[in-house]
Structure 1
């Protein structure tokens, strides 16, 4: 039996209410069933977690693996199958709500190296992961349309924290930017790139969509916005150029999605009661919009 970290149980309960509590309560029994089904044994290592799922360290036939439990495992399995270990963690088994993955080094991420080198690695991964999108994934066109429509009421409900000109600009970008048809890791941040042995750095935990690779850029900006130099506006713009150049991306599209997603995430952070991330988004937007 595994022990679900209390902070993870609390977060899923806060986000998903009764459904989240029920899912968390089912996890120990689910792990037991999957261990029998996939012939794996649980290690005596602590259970790790992110915002959406648990990672249980296991072995199969002497090979270290990770048993990941997530309510969003379906699209993740689709993406990992398409990448087939190229730039991303390798998938061994999948079923509803669970994945068996190769084990990477959970103690070494792109947060552990300098910002500019990390940005070069991450930009290169954006390009490497931009393969033809499998069918059935959420499309960026729909995501963008919903974003443009929902920004004003969310802004109003929060007391209009985002400058109105910035909100209007974000809505314009979300409505007008091209959708695209490649596979996109829509949750690509420095903590979701782990050190590996097959390749130096591999992406994990994809939120898979069908869209354009530039959609991955914004999160790589706000998640290390506190690491920029004293002249933060210049450094933020340099960070955008570094990601674009390393990934061979379209600079105007990347800029547009950086603005749109930073406004969207600023509001989301306030809706969740966060304080640090909205301030980071404001810093990025100040540099990009003035």
Structure 2
């Protein structure tokens, strides 16, 4: 019997209401079914979770795996399996089996992420992964960044104009220009330091992708703001990521500006306090004066 962590159950009820409560209540029976269907044995370990998914440590034929169960409204569930199949374990966790809302995955070391490395060393690994993950995109994926320009103005006004005009104006310009520019490949659109874990077949592998079609430079911004508090030279961090990934410096800079403004507004919309400040630090460093 699986015991769903209370904090996770509360959060899903908060986000999805009765649908979230019903989904949480259905999890033990679903795990039992999948364990039989995929010949799994649950390990004696407490379930792990983030905001969107419950993760169980399981074993099949003596191979350690994880079973990931994603909330019904998680927008990535329809595309995550497609992206993982296209990557086929190249730079990313290996997909073993899937059905809607459930993924059986290679087990990585969830206790070790790129947060454990010094920032420039972590950036070198992450930048290299951006290039490794730039493979042909499967059909049907959304175009990265295609809807940002249409929303920035309304969100800025509705939230009381939190972003300074000089940042917003530059973001508007880049958001209109950049979608569709550069390579058009499969990208991991949530590639931050916590989403790269230690592995056994490779030292570091990405997890939890949000697969999109676009240019690899779109994946840089999370790696700028995620550990911005640790970095005195943010332009230097951007240069390190660009060099490690063999990326276009101007495209990377443009997407960092667009997505920092977008994420700043997203954070304000959700009452966050740390992330908007980090985005402001990044923008001030790249657009001084």
TM-score by length of 2: 0.94
The 2-side partners of 1:51 and 1:85 are apart by 24
Aligned counterpart, 2:26: 26
Q: Identify the structure with the greater helix proportion.
A: 1
Is residue 2:188 matched to residue 1:185? yes
Judge conservation of contact 1:73–1:99 (CA < 8 Å) in 2.
no
Is residue 2:203 matched to residue 1:200? yes
Is the deviation greater in 102-111 or in 154-163? 154-163
Listed as ranges, the gaps of 5+ residues in structure 1 are: none
- Change in Cα spacing, 1:14 to 1:36, as seen in structure 2 (3 Å) is same
- 1:99-248 alignment to 2 at 5 Å? 99-140=103-144, 143-144=145-146, 146-179=147-180, 180-228=183-231, 232=232, 235-248=233-246
Judge conservation of contact 2:78–2:100 (CA < 8 Å) in 1.
yes
Aligned length: 282
The 2-side partners of 1:19 and 1:150 are apart by 28
Aligned counterpart, 1:39: 39
* Corresponding residue SS for 1:17: helix
Aligned counterpart, 2:7: 7
Aligned counterpart, 1:96: 100
The 1-side partners of 2:103 and 2:277 are apart by 35
Aligned counterpart, 1:270: 268
The 2-side partners of 1:167 and 1:111 are apart by 30
Listed as ranges, the gaps of 5+ residues in structure 2 are: none
Judge conservation of contact 2:143–2:179 (CA < 8 Å) in 1.
no
- Change in Cα spacing, 1:48 to 1:245, as seen in structure 2 (3 Å) is same
The 1-side partners of 2:267 and 2:105 are apart by 30
Cα RMSD of the aligned pairs, angstroms, is 1.3
The 2-side partners of 1:185 and 1:98 are apart by 19
The 2-side partners of 1:275 and 1:178 are apart by 29
TM-score by length of 1: 0.94
